[in-house]
Structure 1
Amino acid sequence: MSDLLNTMAVSASGLKAQSTRLRHISENISSADTQGFRRKMVPFESELDRSRDMELVTTGHVQLDQRPLEQVYDPSHPMADDSGHYDGSNVNLVVEIADARQAQRSYEANLKMFDQARKMTSSLFELRRK
């Protein structure tokens, strides 16, 4: 029984981590045209749950992508320098969409695992009642 509950805890931690990742990806996409915006990245880490003696997934501190910002040429822009350039963002929409799809699929896999463990736990309770 505790194995099924541990499975649900691991799945729930994966759901939370992927949810956080999706939130930051959506922030990156919505800020892709913001001047000087740096892409946010969320690393995953393992966290030991001493009460259950198992490792769960958690997110680390948000990191900013240190790649150089895109130089945009627009002499009419108020922030343009003498050469007519200003700093854009370093968000690549293709990368963000691919990351979002990966996070979505990982979220769905964790959700299926959680649901399967829940159904097995429910079936076990039904068997014990008889």
Structure 2
Amino acid sequence: MSLFNVMGIASTGMSAESVRLNTTASNIANANSVSSSYEETYKARKPVFAAELERAQGNNMQKGVGVKVLGVVESDSPLQVEYSPNNPMADENGYIYKPNVNIVEEMADMMSASKAYETNVQIADTTKRIFRRVLQLGQSR
């Protein structure tokens, strides 16, 4: 695997973790929203990643592996239903609906995504330093 492949892998990792951070931020931002119907209530979202095998053109030799974002899916965990007849958002039965967002879980996910993004940045920086050293070796002769 060449250093170019390492940079490609790190960049797909940063891109995937950026999607994860944005999704988590959206979940946290909507955690306290209230709705008057089940259908209109915000549902927590999670990105789905997959390892993506890149193939060299022509000879099918493995070039490297990256991260591919397959999509963002809504959580199927139940929404929070609360009886609050005095709430202006309450339905005809006096219930309000809150998102299925767990703030503690989202914060842990955000810290994990942030650390993974940081790790990919460090990998890219290290690879860049190796490139520079290799170029300096060629100049000294």
State whether TM-score is above 0.5.
yes
Partner of 2:37: none
| Residues in 2 aligned to 1:99 and 1:23: alpha-carbon distance in whole angstroms | 11
Partner of 2:38: none
Return the offset for 1:82.
4.6
Partner of 1:61: 71
Between 1:45-54 and 1:28-37, the stretch displaced more is 45-54
- What root-mean-square deviation, in Å, do the aligned CA atoms of Structure 1 and Structure 2 show? 1.5
CA shift digits 1:39-90 (9 cap, x unpaired): 0100111222224722210111110001110012321223323542221110
- 1:38 pairs with one of 27, 40, 43: 43
- The one-letter amino acid paired with 1:18 is E
Higher relative strand content? 2
In structure 2, list runs of 5 or more residues that go unmatched.
Answer: 35-40, 57-61
Contact 2:5 2:63 survives alignment (8 Å): no
- 2:128 pairs with one of 118, 123, 127: 118
Matches within 5 A, 1:5-24: 5-24=4-23
Matches within 5 A, 1:88-107: 88-107=98-117
Partner of 1:87: 97
TM-score, reference length from structure 2: 0.84
3-state SS of paired residue (1:58): strand
Between 1:111-120 and 1:2-11, the stretch displaced more is 2-11
Matched, 1:76 2:72: no
CA shift digits 1:87-113 (9 cap, x unpaired): 111001101000000001111111111
- 1:50 pairs with one of 41, 51, 55: 55
TM-score, reference length from structure 1: 0.91
3-state SS of paired residue (1:76): coil
Share of identical aligned residues, percent? 30
Provide the aligned length of Structure 1 versus Structure 2.
129
